[in-house]
Amino acid sequence: MNKICVIGLGYIGLPTAALLANQGFEVVGVDINPTIIETINQGNIHICEPELDKLVNNVVIKGKLKASLKPELADIFIIAVPTPLRDNNQPDISFVETAVKTITPYLKQGNLIILESTIPVGTTEKINYFIKEIITEITPIYLAHCPERVLPGNILKELIENDRVVGGIDEDSTKKAALFYEKFVQGKVISTNSKTAEIVKLTENSFRDINIAFANEMSMICDHLDINVWEVIKLANLHPRVNILKPGPGVGGHCIAIDPWFIVNSSPNLAKLIKTAREVNINKTDYVINQIKNAATKINEPVIACLGLSYKANIDDLRESPALKIVQQLALEKIGKIIAVEPHIKCLPNNLNNLENLELLDLELAFCKANLVVLLVGHNDFINLNQELLESKIIIDTQGIW
Ligand code: SAJ
């Protein structure tokens, strides 16, 4: 089990590939994007994650990691491609299916395939039938699901330290996969079946979504009753069995805003709380947009500085970002001149690029120009602000920091 092929070099695949290469495995990382392949083979990275640049550089120089548009023969294939939602909130597993199709010509007897992508319940079994249909004569092929559980911003540490849940399509697959993770994971590696592993992952993210929804609902209720929600949460959290999360402008990222729908779709009549939590969190973004619009109507010529575009603090990831949605909506509705401040990106993403009343500026310039300042993301750069800057501005603080 020395050579590993990792399919998908995104936020999970690339750190996983680099970490395995650093553990001594020979790793080929595969992606469909030629720019990503070129970047990695030059020892650079295309995402922002603490310490990842040094690690990738090191393993590429040592020849332990190389990136390629095509898979190669290997002992283990790890699939870490996205599983987005279709327009009707139905899971789209086509990237996983395509990834599996891409590796089938390279499969040989005894290979282990691990699906790390978050997938709807039953997908591992479905993929098993899919593989069996394509390759009939090569057996055994082992297949297991081991959902990634790492927190963007802390990926390299959590890849090693977090417990892992491994569920194979049969006992041998589970055993093989568990043995592999035990080679580099310091946390526990726990064996189960594939359906359980699938729903464990979905349950974790739904749990967090529901708890954030509670915080967001309380923030709107407190607003309505003219009470400071941050003080309420601080005081309620003094209770030994209460631990309320933080309200914000909504829930973003490619995980928590997506995965609960996989459960809702599998059991629509039963997943009432999970669905409502999703709706509350989506609604919180619209609520913030209205707060900003109301504040802007009180200003003659509103110049609105929106601080933060990423989906959470201190990262560059814009996927499903509520902050991005808010900025886009304000600009589209021409609520005023909109200034976006996002220290982690160099230029606006495509969907914000052609909006004539929107520009990306640095913090200092934004404060010079704006009369309304909205804190959307709690980046460190925004926390330690000179308080004098805030004087004479109308402030909306969705993070409870100022
Ligand atoms: N958020 C709040 N209030 C909070 C905490 C978070 O509004 O108190 C918001 C964030 O601003 C962000 C969103 O929720 O928009 C999600 O952020 P997050 O830090 O809670 O989680 P992710 O999406 O970065 O990573 C999650 C993690 N899952 C759990 O904590 C259960 C991570 O461990 C998973 O590996 C990851 O999803 C994934 O890939 O599924």
CATH value at residue 35:
3.40.50.720
Measured in Å, residue 38 CA sits from the centre of ligand 1 at 30
Q: Where in 290-393 does DSSP place strands (E)?
A: 303-307, 337-341, 358-360, 372-375
State whether the beta carbon of 111 lies less than 6 angstroms from ligand 1: no
- The band of 123, judged by pLDDT with boundaries at 50, 70 and 90, is very high
Nearest to residue 80, comparing CAs of 47, 117, 109? 117
Q: In this structure, is residue 216 part of a structural domain?
A: no
Q: Are residues 182 and 296 in the same domain?
A: no
| pLDDT at position 1 | 66
The domain containing residue 172 runs over which residues?
A: 3-199
Q: In this structure, is residue 215 part of a structural domain?
A: no
Name the domain boundary from 140, 164, 199. 199
Please write the tens of the pLDDT for every residue from 139-192: 899 999 999 999 999 999 999 999 999 999 999 999 999 999 999 999 999 999
Q: Identify the three-state secondary structure at position 196.
A: helix
Measured in Å, residue 61 CA sits from the centre of ligand 1 at 33
- The band of 48, judged by pLDDT with boundaries at 50, 70 and 90, is confident
State whether the beta carbon of 378 lies less than 6 angstroms from ligand 1: no
What ligand 1 atom has the least distance to the C-alpha of 256?
23
State whether the beta carbon of 204 lies less than 6 angstroms from ligand 1: yes
Measured in Å, residue 256 CA sits from the centre of ligand 1 at 6
Name the domain boundary from 199, 234, 258. 199
Q: Is 353 exposed, middle or buried (0-12, 13-18, 19+ CB in 10 A)?
A: exposed
Q: Identify the three-state secondary structure at position 395.
A: strand
Q: Are residues 68 and 21 in the same domain?
A: yes
Q: In this structure, is residue 210 part of a structural domain?
A: no
Q: Are residues 157 and 299 in the same domain?
A: no
The residue ranking higher by pLDDT, 303 or 392, is 303
Q: In this structure, is residue 303 part of a structural domain?
A: yes
State whether the beta carbon of 256 lies less than 6 angstroms from ligand 1: yes
Q: Are residues 264 and 386 in the same domain?
A: yes
Q: In this structure, is residue 338 part of a structural domain?
A: yes
| pLDDT at position 25 | 97
Q: In this structure, is residue 212 part of a structural domain?
A: no
For ligand 1, pick from 312, 316, 318, 375 the residue to mutate: most ligand atoms within 8 Å of CB. Answer: 312
Q: Are residues 190 and 262 in the same domain?
A: no
Structurally, the chain folds into a number of domains equal to 2
Q: Are residues 231 and 194 in the same domain?
A: no
Measured in Å, residue 53 CA sits from the centre of ligand 1 at 23
Q: Are residues 302 and 164 in the same domain?
A: no
Q: In this structure, is residue 209 part of a structural domain?
A: no
Q: Are residues 50 and 190 in the same domain?
A: yes
State whether the beta carbon of 319 lies less than 6 angstroms from ligand 1: no
What value does the mean pLDDT of the chain take?
96
Q: Are residues 105 and 34 in the same domain?
A: yes
Please write the tens of the pLDDT for every residue from 49-92: 999 999 999 999 999 999 999 999 999 999 999 999 998 999 99
Q: Are residues 42 and 120 in the same domain?
A: yes
State whether the beta carbon of 262 lies less than 6 angstroms from ligand 1: no
Q: Are residues 109 and 241 in the same domain?
A: no
pTM (2 d.p.): 0.95
Q: In this structure, is residue 316 part of a structural domain?
A: yes
Q: Are residues 232 and 295 in the same domain?
A: yes
CB 327 within 8 A of CB 394: no
Tell the residue nearest (CA) to atom 13 of ligand 1: 251
